[in-house]
Amino acid sequence: MNFLADTKTCLACGKTVKGRSDKKFCDDYCRNNYNNQLKADSNNYVRNINNALKKNRRILESLFPAHEEMIKTTKEKLLISGFQFKYITHTYTNKKGNTYFFCYEYGYLPLENDWYLIVKRKED
C-alpha cells in the first residue's frame, strides 16, 4: 500500500487525515475549530476597522473648539494624533467639486501644503 499517495493533512490541526480523499478534517471537532477560527478572523477584521473609524472620529472631534463650524489643521498634527486617512465612512462632493472625506459626522477637505479643513456636518 502506498500511504504517501493519499496522505492528507487536517486543515485545523495538521495531523494526517485518514479516510476518503476529500476529507479535510480529522473529525467534527477539528472542523468546528477551523470554522470558528475563520469567523473570529473576520470578526477581528471588522472590529479593527470599526475601532480605527471611531478613533478617527474622536481625533477630529477633539480638534473642534465648542461652537465652531470649521477649523484648519495640518496633516502632521492629524498623523501625530494617530489619524488614519484610509479609514473613512463616506465622501461628499459639493457643487464646486471639492470632495470632503467623512468619519461619521466629521469630515476633512485636503487644502494646499498639507493643510486640512475640518468640518462638522450640520444636523438635518
Contacting residues toward Zn ion, per CB under 5 A? 10, 12-13, 26, 30
Report in angstroms how near the CB of residue 5 gets to Zn ion at its nearest.
20
Q: How far apart are CA 57 and CA 51, in angstroms?
A: 10
Q: Between residues 14 and 82, which has the closer beta carbon with respect to Zn ion?
A: 14
Q: Between residues 10 and 78, which has the closer beta carbon with respect to Zn ion?
A: 10
Report in angstroms how near the CB of residue 26 gets to Zn ion at its nearest.
3
User: Comparing C-alpha atoms, which of 86, 123, 95 is closest to residue 108?
Assistant: 86
Instruction: For cell 493533512, name the residue.
Output: 9
116 grid coordinates:
486640512
CB of 79 within 8 A of CB of 67?
no
Report in angstroms how near the CB of residue 91 gets to Zn ion at its nearest.
46
Q: Between residues 11 and 109, which has the closer beta carbon with respect to Zn ion?
A: 11
Q: Between residues 8 and 77, which has the closer beta carbon with respect to Zn ion?
A: 8
User: Comparing C-alpha atoms, which of 58, 66, 63, 90 is closest to residue 75?
Assistant: 63
Report in angstroms how near the CB of residue 94 gets to Zn ion at its nearest.
57
